[in-house]
Amino acid sequence: MTQEKYTQYLVKAANYCTYQERTQAEVRERLADWGIYGDDADLLIAGLIEENFLSEERFAKAFAGGKFRVKHWGRNKIRYELKSRGLSEYCIKIGMAEIDDEEYLEALKELLTKKKHELRTEKNPQILKQKLARFAIGKGYESGLVWDVIEGI
């Protein structure tokens, strides 16, 4: 790859990364769409990291914080998604640190209270608890924590 092509694709990839946080795998996939593979792709990714356009730690923080605050996902679901995107255990740990324990517990209580209100037509308390637990566990919350909160509401 010539220096001119390198600069052209670096700017294009930097714009792609500026729009939102990306993983190296996402950038590599986009480069492949542009017909750039192997050493050339590695060189561009290294340039993006060097210029601070690409940071998997930053991606993990933004992803974990966003999915928790906006979509109210639990830790299990967030961890699974980060892992499936090829992030290292170190980056996943940094991302998970974005979730405050008190805020997490409060979000779970709020989520279950809201769902309980939606299910107010359910008369059998055992079935109601099962539905609430299934809902929260499906959102990625830890089952032990879910059952503790259900018993408290």
Which ranges of 20-88 does DSSP label H, i.e. alpha helix? 24-33, 38-50, 56-71, 75-84
Return the domain boundaries, the chain.
3-54, 57-96, 101-152
| CATH placement of domain 3-54 | 1.10.10
Task: Output the pLDDT for position 45.
Answer: 97
Over 90: is that where the pLDDT of 1 sits? no
Mean pLDDT of the chain: 96
Confidence at 104, pLDDT banded by 50, 70, 90? very high
Each residue's pLDDT tens digit, 49-89? 999 999 999 999 999 999 999 999 999 999 999 999 999 99
Q: Which residues in 105-126 are b (16+ Cβ under 10 Å) and which e?
A: eebbeebbeeebeeeeeeeeee
Chain-centroid distance of CA 102 in Å reads 19
- Find, among 46, 15, 45, the residue nearest to 31 by Cα: 45
Q: What distance, in Å, lies between the first and last C-alpha atoms of the chain?
A: 62
Over 90: is that where the pLDDT of 125 sits? yes
pTM greater than 0.85: yes
Confidence at 7, pLDDT banded by 50, 70, 90? very high
Q: Please give the single-letter amino acid code of residue 33.
A: D
Say how many C-beta atoms besides its own lie within 10 A of residue 64's C-beta.
24
Instruction: Determine contact, residues 80/147, Cβ cutoff 8 Å.
Output: no
Over 90: is that where the pLDDT of 117 sits? yes
Confidence at 153, pLDDT banded by 50, 70, 90? confident
